[in-house]
Amino acid sequence: MLLIIGGGIGGMTTALAVAQAGFDVHVVEQSPEFSEIGAGIQLAPNAMRALERLGLLPALEEVCVQPRNLIFMHADTGRRLGTVDFGPSFRRHFGQSYTVLHRGDLLEVLLAACRTHPRITLETAREVVGVREDGEVRFADGTRLVGDGVVGADGLWSRTRALVSNDRPHCSQYVAYRGALPVTVDVEDELIWIGPGKHLVQYPIRQGQLYNQVAVFRSHRYRADTDQWGTPDELIEAFATSCAPVRTAIEAIPTDRRWPMYDRLPIDNWTKGRVTLLGDAAHPMLQYLAQGACQAIEDAECLARHLAKQDGDITEAFAGYQADRIGRTAQVQTIARAWGDVWHADDLIVPALRDRVLSRRLADDYTDLNWLYQGGP
């Protein structure tokens, strides 16, 4: 039996993939119920191909949106910088669509599939307090479970990761505010407004019924010893010089909760004994490539494939999984950081070069996306 710690998108995808490969799976989740916090999520073709192989496309199509274009705009001037055509040529090139949806809807699709699979056991309200390399997991209520193997899919603040690394999450000093509004007009495109120290992402979800918005900015009040930074007044201040459409959007974003932006540097090992890591527990990344969930989904399919290849031999399967995944995820982590720097540059040279490159590329030129969207399982 494979024991998975964490019932989010990565944990649930792993459970389904491993069960479909013919192995028993037990998922434990700390929260009282399986749920996702936040609103929208973006799934690029590398993730969508994996979800298609898991048989989830019909259910996803009932709740998702496939944007017509991705349009880069300048947050301050309002100038259109560049476009990526997500239409038929994109789907032919990458073998799948670019898809956006509510995080909760994605988890519900995964959860429904897991609940009906006879090899999957799901438990909530199971707080993990200790993990041993022999596969024993201890819980806050004093009980224990032992798996043939353990997968730590317990996110950015993973307790499982302490087995293999003593590093800590790194705060980027950026913070996000997000929320979704009812749609009052037809919206077919995803917009990304970029500017010095800030950006705004907008796209429709729930089959076009809601409009997801995420505003991100660098806090100049950041201090590591307090959470009194990235406040709602800073949000307004950060976007004060933006063009009218952006300022109007910022006014509509809920400010009752904020999300500080963290990642970790890549590490060269995820595995110890019968325990390995997956998703944000293994390779948390900044959101600028929209690949956090996508890479977790790739992880899930890769792990299931190695379990099947090694006929359930945990040691060999974990070694093969890690060897296949660690280089690719490190590359995505590293480039995500750099891409954020390009978006948010506030000097004289980088923004000018960025805007020139974006404006000159053709909408159906996918050369720069091949490494990311054609990669994976």
Q: What residues contact 325, with CB distance under 8 A and at least 6 apart? A: 282, 298, 299, 302
Alpha carbon of residue 243 to chain centroid: 29
In the three-class reduction of DSSP (H, G, I as helix; E, B as strand; rest coil), residue 209 is classed as coil
H-assigned helices in 21-61: 45-53, 57-61
* CA distances in angstroms from 253 to 72, 176, 215, listed in the order given: 20, 10, 8
For the question of residue 373 being annotated catalytic, the response is no
Helices marked H in the chain: 9-20, 45-53, 57-61, 88-94, 103-115, 232-238, 244-251, 292-309, 314-344, 349-360, 370-373
Indicate the DSSP class of residue 221. Answer: T
- In this structure, are strands 190-195 and 69-74 parallel, antiparallel, or unpaired? parallel
Query: Is residue 73 a contact partner of residue 79, using CB atoms and an 8 Å limit?
Result: yes
What does residue 49 show for φ and ψ, rounded to 5 degrees? Answer: -65, -40
Tokens of 302: 């890769």
Which residue out of 203, 211, 222, 288 is catalytically annotated? Answer: 203
Q: For residue 188, which of 204, 202, 209, 207 has the smallest C-alpha distance?
A: 204
Tokens for 253, please give them: 């974003």
Residues with catalytic annotation?
203
